[in-house]
A and B are shown apart, each in its own frame.
Chain A
Amino acid sequence: MNDKPSTDWTVDELMVTTLAATLDNDDQACNGMASFIPVCAFQLARLTHAPDLVWLASSIGLDARPERVPASTLEAPLWRDSIMYLEQYSTFWDIVLNGRWLQKFCVGAAQLDRYGNGNNSVIGDVYHRPKVRLPGTAGLGDMGSIGKRLFFWNPNHNPRSFVEKVDFVSCAGWLGGGDERERLGLTGGPELVITNLCVMDFHTETRHMRLKSLHPGVTAEEVQDATGFELLIEDSVVPETVVPTVEQVGLIRDVIDPDGMRLREFGR
């Protein structure tokens, strides 16, 4: 094992290791469509600090053992060698909705606003005549409202995806900020946003998105320029995101995702 900092890490690997660090040994985690970074993070966590993490691959195959990350995160090669198959109506949602299990959920959304509300439904002002019809809420409409701790990932940090106000709330974040979530009786909520530039969290009272750490080589100005709203920056010197170790980089490159499927998420 080599826990020295890597000197040739790349930003996809940094996103994977940062997301993996949010997972604990007694967690369960699931993934949906086109979720290469979370899948790599679950695998990395399992192979390092969280060996007992139970991964519901594609939300279909429990505790899967794929040979390597395949071209789809929603097809059978991902849920190879599972110990149980889940059926969505009768099993998957019972596990998720119960509240005791699967406390954390990784969210990818086309738009995210300053309070961590997510949009995967429509771009434009008129819902039934949208400028762009996005895929749809899928499980996000549930995950944001049922007490999950939400971890967002976005490999393409730009002002189109980080907006002042989402055009449509398809995943409930901190809503209008402050205690609005609480007043609706909702628990959980957005905790962390991991992008190709930085890591952000949310102010504990205002729930405003806040710069937490900058990836090495990135400045706060660059992040602000890539963000469509005024980001909360509390420290004059923002900490640097912890870089991957030599061991982590080796596992991601050689064992978990040797075909580099995770790179497909970048440049969209």
Chain B
Amino acid sequence: MSKEKLTSLAEAIGTVPDGSTVAIQNMATQSAPMASVRELIRQGHTGLEVVALVGGIPIDLMAAAGSMDRFTGAAVSMEQFGLCQAYRNAVESGRIVVQELSETALNARLGAGARNLPFLPTRGMIGTDLIAINPDLVMVPDPFGGPDVVACRALIPDVALVHCHRADRFGNLQMEPTAVWPDIGIMPKAAKHVIATVEEIVDTELLRSNPEKTILPGFMVDAVVEVPFGAHPTSFNPRYGYDTAFHRGWISVSRDPEGISAWMQRYVYEPDTQEEYLERVGGTDRLEALKRWEITE
């Protein structure tokens, strides 16, 4: 008999210890577990090391809220919406330490974590300054006589936060193939715990009609929570597009402490439910436009 994994967001995020390493699915403006990130901030978690391939607005919000003191990943950018200013300020003032990794180095670190290896090698980064600044990367000789490679120490996040299209109550997670690029291939497999939000909870029978879309079995998942539009304002292909106006709204306040504080009240602290959050974002009209991938300036 499978174990029940269905829970509330408050309960699931409440299990994340302060100071832990939290891996987040994200690719610039794509596919971030935003409802989980807002809940982390609401609950006042601090001292987090955040891991992401290419972090966007979730990193900026956590930097602004003081949730994180370390970023590990390949880049932080909101692409067309520009640099993450709160994150930038925090790094430039020394409040956040960055462990910058090339994409293959992050993959190697997580891959080693997932497969219980001390490290995996990559040929990337040789000749760059990325190796010398990083104690988790070491040049090592090829035992078989080829050129040196870069050993990348295993990274085992305490928690992985993911957002998926659907799951059953036992935590079997499904994603549409158009959205699997950002980190899903390895990140949750390396983490000790996986907290998943999903657009909808469905009967297991429905998963059986498309088993090729299941990306993680329930026994690897610790908690599953139904959160429609849980990736907003990032895109969640094919279900909805990214929210241009919302990204721009955040950027317009993200350099100013008072603006940040008012924004956090309005979108993070005050809404008690996802429904209330979505009302504040613009309600049904806005959500319908996002489903049509309309750019709403």
Structural contact, A89 and B124, CB atoms closer than 8 A: no
Shortest Cβ distance from residue B142 to the other chain A in the assembled complex, whole angstroms: 10
Structural contact, A72 and B181, CB atoms closer than 8 A: no
Answer whether residue B273 sits at the interface, using C-beta atoms and an 8 A cutoff: no
Answer whether residue A229 sits at the interface, using C-beta atoms and an 8 A cutoff: no
Residues of A within 8 A of B147 (CB): 184-185
Structural contact, A33 and B77, CB atoms closer than 8 A: yes
**Given A34-B80, A72-B29, A85-B178, A142 and B235 contact (CB-CB distance below 8 Å):** no
Among B74, B79, B124, residue most surrounded by chain A Cβ atoms (within 10 Å): B124
Residues of A within 8 A of B88 (CB): 132-133
Answer whether residue A131 sits at the interface, using C-beta atoms and an 8 A cutoff: yes
Answer whether residue A138 sits at the interface, using C-beta atoms and an 8 A cutoff: yes
Contact digits for A68-94, partner B, Cβ 8 Å, 1 yes 0 no: 000111111101000001111110110
Bound-state Cα–Cα, A163 to B249, Å: 35
Shortest Cβ distance from residue A189 to the other chain B in the assembled complex, whole angstroms: 10
Number of chain B interface residues as a range: 35 or more
Answer whether residue A28 sits at the interface, using C-beta atoms and an 8 A cutoff: no
Structural contact, A85 and B181, CB atoms closer than 8 A: yes
Residues of B within 8 A of A130 (CB): 91-92
Answer whether residue B157 sits at the interface, using C-beta atoms and an 8 A cutoff: no
Among B77, B93, B111, residue most surrounded by chain A Cβ atoms (within 10 Å): B77
Answer whether residue A186 sits at the interface, using C-beta atoms and an 8 A cutoff: yes
Residues of A within 8 A of B74 (CB): 136-139, 141
**Given A89-B111, A93-B103, A141 and B125 contact (CB-CB distance below 8 Å):** yes
Structural contact, B148 and A76, CB atoms closer than 8 A: no
Among B129, B178, B237, B244, residue most surrounded by chain A Cβ atoms (within 10 Å): B129
Interface-forming stretch among B160-168, B182-190, B225-233, B259-267?
Answer: B182-190
Structural contact, A186 and B127, CB atoms closer than 8 A: yes
Bound-state Cα–Cα, A89 to B111, Å: 9
Structural contact, B185 and A129, CB atoms closer than 8 A: no
Residue of A nearest to B90 (CB): A133
Residues of B within 8 A of A140 (CB): 102
Structural contact, A137 and B100, CB atoms closer than 8 A: yes
**Given A34-B79, A131-B92, A184-B126, A138 and B103 contact (CB-CB distance below 8 Å):** yes
Contact digits for A89-111, partner B, Cβ 8 Å, 1 yes 0 no: 11011000100000000000000
Residues of B within 8 A of A34 (CB): 79-80
Answer whether residue A156 sits at the interface, using C-beta atoms and an 8 A cutoff: no
Residue of A nearest to B27 (CB): A74
Contact of A88 among B128, B177, B182, B237 (CB under 8 A): B182
Residue of A nearest to B77 (CB): A135
Bound-state Cα–Cα, A255 to B237, Å: 25
Residues of A within 8 A of B177 (CB): 85
Residues of A within 8 A of B130 (CB): 121, 137, 141, 169-170
Residues of A within 8 A of B1 (CB): none
Answer whether residue A9 sits at the interface, using C-beta atoms and an 8 A cutoff: no
Shortest Cβ distance from residue A6 to the other chain B in the assembled complex, whole angstroms: 29
Shortest Cβ distance from residue B245 to the other chain A in the assembled complex, whole angstroms: 13
Answer whether residue A171 sits at the interface, using C-beta atoms and an 8 A cutoff: yes
Bound-state Cα–Cα, A42 to B104, Å: 25
Structural contact, A170 and B128, CB atoms closer than 8 A: yes
Bound-state Cα–Cα, A59 to B54, Å: 13
Answer whether residue B44 sits at the interface, using C-beta atoms and an 8 A cutoff: no
Answer whether residue B9 sits at the interface, using C-beta atoms and an 8 A cutoff: no
Bound-state Cα–Cα, A93 to B124, Å: 11
Structural contact, A74 and B129, CB atoms closer than 8 A: no
Answer whether residue B241 sits at the interface, using C-beta atoms and an 8 A cutoff: yes
Residues of B within 8 A of A15 (CB): none
Bound-state Cα–Cα, A33 to B79, Å: 6
Structural contact, A129 and B75, CB atoms closer than 8 A: no
Chain A to chain B contacts (Cβ below 8 Å), 8 pairs: A33-B28, A93-B107, A128-B98, A132-B88, A134-B83, A145-B127, A170-B128, A185-B147
Q: Contacts A88-B182, A168-B129, A175-B127 known; list 14 others, CB within 8 Å.
A: A72-B29, A74-B28, A97-B123, A121-B130, A128-B94, A129-B92, A132-B88, A133-B91, A136-B77, A137-B128, A141-B105, A142-B104, A142-B105, A171-B128
Chain B residues in the interface with A (C-beta under 8 A): 27-30, 53-54, 73-77, 79-80, 83, 87-88, 91-94, 97-98, 100-105, 107, 110-111, 122-130, 133, 147-148, 177-178, 180-186, 235, 237-238, 241-242, 244, 293, 295
Nearest 10 Cβ contacts at the A-B interface: A141-B102, A89-B185, A172-B127, A142-B124, A136-B75, A185-B147, A135-B77, A138-B75, A133-B91, A89-B186
